[in-house]
A and B are shown apart, each in its own frame.
Chain A
Amino acid sequence: MRNISLADDVAAMRASCADPEEFVRVFELHFDEVHRFVAARVGADAADDVTSDTFTVAFRRRERFDATGGEVRPWLLGIALNVMRNHHRARRRWYGFLAHLRPDPPEDATGELDARVDAAAAGERINAALGRLRTGDREVFLLAACGELTYPQIATALGIPVGTVRSRMHRARAALRADLEELTR
């Protein structure tokens, strides 16, 4: 039994250039995370297609992955963002961000919903505040807050300098703080 660990993903990416089957390991490692990341933005239905396309695109671009210093997760999330922008189904939701940001409720997961009731109560306001951010600022903020990427990882994902990440993050936080002042107190 071959165990897969996160530490394997770069090795799997590297190996997939010679043996494409190795890419399945990358898929197995990161599918859930990428799917959740996408679903939070475009809904569960469109997320299936977008996530699937993300891995297909990643597979075809695997030669371009920088195995020497790169990390797979931000690279995949960066591709996911691009696919979301281009995906015809997702695009409607992407631009209708304000109305559609809330993820689909989990099926029958009433216990989970109860546990998150506080956040859900504030959900509409958070959606609205996120929707008012500039696109670039929002992407940076979401990658940091929900994708849990570091600034250099976000820079990798979006293909922008780290300094730009910092300034966008600063702008996003300032705008959200102003918008959500009561909720953050």
Chain B
Amino acid sequence: MNVDDLARKHLAATPSPTAEQRATARARLLAAMDDPDGTPEPAPRGGIALTAVGIVAAAAALVVLMPRGTPARQVGEKTPKPGSGGVVHSGPVAAMRVTGGTAHQRTLVARAAHLMGEDGGIREVRIHRNTITITSRPRPTSRQTWLAQVMGQELRVLDSTLREVTVNGTPVRTAARVDLATLRQKVHTAAARSALTVTGTHVYPVGVGAVSVTARMSVRQILEDRPLPYAQLRAIVPTGVNGLITVAPNRTVVGRLGGGPGGRVDDAGDPAPASPPIPTDLGGPTRLTVDLSEGQPGTTQRKILDCAGGSSTVTDPQAVCAALDRNWLRYLPPNLAARLCLGLAQPLEVTITGTFHGTPVERSSMSCPASPSEPDWAALLATTSTTASPARADGVAPAATAAAAALPVVGGPDRLARAVRAAVAAIGAPQMLVGVQVSARQVELRAPRGAASAVDFLWRMTVLRDEIHRRASRTGFSRINVLLFVGAKQEQLSPDWSDNLLTPHALVRLARTRLAGSHIDVRGVTALPVRVGAVRLDAVETAQQVLADDGPDRINLATVVPHTVSVDVRLRMADGTSLGEFGRASSLFFDRSAAPPDVSPALPDTLTGPTRLTVRIGAATAVIDCGSGQSTVTNPVAACADLDTHWLTYFAPQDGIACAMPGSLVTAK
């Protein structure tokens, strides 16, 4: 080995950055892109392409489409509420907790919060000397994030001794004071002249400048998904002033973009947007081509939906068309953030092209705030008039809370111990463990010696490991190492982590949708109540299927959920005879056949053909012919009877996945 290889091998152990590290760096880059200092020299050439300053101005604008019937053009500003100056607040900042700092600093925080006049979704403001850390409540809206950023900026203006202010970990940049009267005048004048359907503006009474603009977008505009007219927005909000864009055809907000020197925010608006009625002037046909895929070559399925009576490739076009009309905004969301959000790799993809009530539409899933979802579309296209009453035993498994409460969880910070206990309850198998040892850096799961004999032990433990890691991260312990000990021996778990984007209910829906074409009867799809993604399938094979030993069909069962989701397939026969269990725990495949019963299940009457087998054992060949008597064995009658009685022993299913895909999988013992 040469020195190059030696060094390369040694340094190759560097881990890849986590999604969290990537997201943080991305946020910092986007913040830097919002910084006017980030404009390269020489300045970009003209045209409509945005310069860095242009981006600031563009993202700084705010468009809020108000409810229909809202009085046009409400221009004004809210009256600031007096600051309480204390730690406990009322009104829009009631839930905000201020800790540390001097009385003067806490007063400034209260003042800045009240100047915003709205709930910024702030959970805590921590002051330590000349540093202020602002933390939002879980899942803040983009509007709340934006308000928190503006508040952070205002604090820097109010207290020039502050060295750093961060909002959810992102530093807030300093901004110059603006003259409020001038800003108000500029905004009002620009709004009046704008070609946009501006229905209101709001200038916040903060020194750093923060403006919102209200406008309206028609259903047709949303369907056509034209880029927002940034030039017009830029003309309303002056460069360098904070702003937010919110778009909604009615009371439903379908998207927000915002930013400025305080930072950048964008989201998809309300989580379940209520679709406005389709205007009567949209009278054309709905004809859509939908490509669904799991993001891997060869997995794309094309579906044609023709609501005008033409040929469709979905089961019940009428039911699908009705469901689409009722919820069109959910299935065809406008990608308002297109310019701020590039198409990034995503495990599930859907592309929709065609016309919706005569309006050309084109959508594709992207990791953007607003984009159509593949599981949503897969479920929609599977809609039938009888979908409402599925006969299957599907659902999300209950958490074993009581049993988990009895499990000894020793040591560690309380928050972490609670997170661990909750994860143990969620995976539903506390009895597999005898205790958990917790410290600030490590969680040791202790299982009794015989625990590993359970087929699904490692599967559950891998899911538990991932769920503990996820819950620990959420409670501030992001570098927890989770180890599993069976007796005194440490067990190895999959080196990869689950990275699931779907809720348990969505996973169940997705799996059931994709099982539509399976030849194997899946009686139940059960998701564990964990966000890392874990699904169990209860599948039943007929004797004919067992004899046919269709490995690929079994593999299909393990691929009904995204490859980042753990899946456990329990395979049995209709009489309950277990055939085995296989699946995937994170990236680690496992496959374990059940021991055949002493007497095989009776073969069904439908299997009426002859039995003729050629068996090769080494160099010897024997023929068993139970019909014509052309056997070469000594006692063919006894052999045929034995075959019928113990057919499952002699024709046990192959180790389904492992044998069907040699070389690419690991078989768990």
Binding site for B on A (CB under 8 A): 1-4, 17-25, 27-28, 31-32, 35-36, 39-40, 44, 47-48, 51-52, 55-56, 59-64, 103-113, 116, 118-120, 122-123, 126, 130, 141-142, 144-146, 173, 176-177, 180, 183-184
B29 x A52 contact (CB < 8 A): yes
| B351: interface (CB < 8 Å) | yes
Complex Cα spacing A122 to B366, Å? 44
| Across-interface contacts of A119 in B (CB, < 8 A) | 6, 9-10, 12-13
With A120-B13, A146-B11 in contact, is A24–B29 under 8 Å at CB?
Answer: yes
Which of B33-41, B141-149, B271-279, B554-562 binds A?
Answer: B33-41
Interface residues of B in 541-596 (CB under 8 A from A): none
Total interface residues in chain B, CB < 8 Å: 64
The one of A28, A52, A60, A176 in contact with B7, judged by C-beta atoms closer than 8 angstroms, is A176
What residue of chain B has the Cβ atom nearest to residue A109's Cβ? B495
Q: In the assembly, what is the distance between CA of A24 and CA of B33, in Å? A: 10
Sorted nearest first, the 4 A-B pairs with minimum C-beta distance are A2-B343, A18-B49, A63-B40, A106-B15
Whether B7 and A25, one on each chain, are in contact in the complex, defined by CB atoms closer than 8 angstroms, is no
A residues less than 8 Å from B37 (CB atoms): 60
Could you tell me if A145 and B49 are in contact, using CB atoms closer than 8 angstroms? no
Main SS of the interface on chain A? helix
Q: 1/0 contact trace for B1-45 toward A, CB 8 Å?
A: 111111111111111110001101110111011000110111011
In contact, A51 and B15 (Cβ under 8 angstroms): no
Q: How far is the CA of A24 from the CA of B27 in the complex (A)?
A: 10
- Quick one: given A18-B45, A19-B50, A21-B339, are A52 and B28 in contact (CB under 8 Å)? yes
Determine the distance from Cα of A120 to Cα of B346 in the docked complex, in whole angstroms.
35
Contacts of A39 in B (CB 8 A): 14-15, 17
Instruction: Please determine whether B3 and A18 come into contact, CB atoms closer than 8 angstroms.
Output: no
User: What residues of B have a CB within 8 angstroms of the CB of A113 in the complex?
Assistant: 13
Please report the number of residue pairs spanning A and B whose Cβ atoms sit closer than 8 angstroms.
Answer: 184
> Among B239-247, B401-409, B475-483, B609-617, which stretch is in contact with chain A?
B475-483
Closest B-chain residue to A26, C-beta based? B29
A60, A122, A176: which contacts B32 (Cβ < 8 A)?
A60
Cβ-defined contact, B24 with A59, below 8 A: no
When C-beta atoms are compared, the residue in chain A nearest to B22 turns out to be A31
- Chain B residues with a Cβ under 8 A of chain A: 1-17, 21-22, 24-26, 28-30, 32-33, 37-38, 40-42, 44-45, 47, 49-52, 55, 339-340, 342-346, 349, 351, 364-366, 465, 469, 479-483, 490, 492-495
20 residue pairs A–B, Cβ–Cβ below 8 Å: A1-B346, A3-B345, A4-B345, A18-B45, A27-B25, A31-B17, A31-B22, A35-B25, A51-B25, A59-B29, A104-B15, A105-B13, A106-B15, A106-B495, A116-B9, A126-B6, A144-B4, A146-B11, A183-B6, A184-B2
B15 and A44: CB pair below 8 A?
A: yes
Residue of B11, B37, B494 with highest tally of chain A CB at under 10 A: B11
Other than the given A40-B11, A122-B6, 4 more pairs (CB < 8 A) read: A23-B29, A35-B17, A35-B21, A52-B29
A3 proximity list for chain B (CB < 8 A): 343, 345
Are the C-beta atoms of B495 and A110 separated by less than 8 Å? yes
Is there contact, CB below 8 Å, between A106 and B13? yes
CB distance from B668 to the nearest CB of A (A): 13
A92 to B343, CA, bound (A): 38
Bound complex: CA A22 to CA B51 (Å): 11
User: What is the distance, in angstroms, from A178's C-beta to the closest C-beta of chain B?
Assistant: 10
Residues of B within 8 A of A25 (CB): 342
How distant is the Cα of A144 from the Cα of B8 in the complex, in angstroms?
A: 9
Which residues of B sit under 8 angstroms from A108, Cβ to Cβ?
A: 465, 469, 481-483, 493, 495
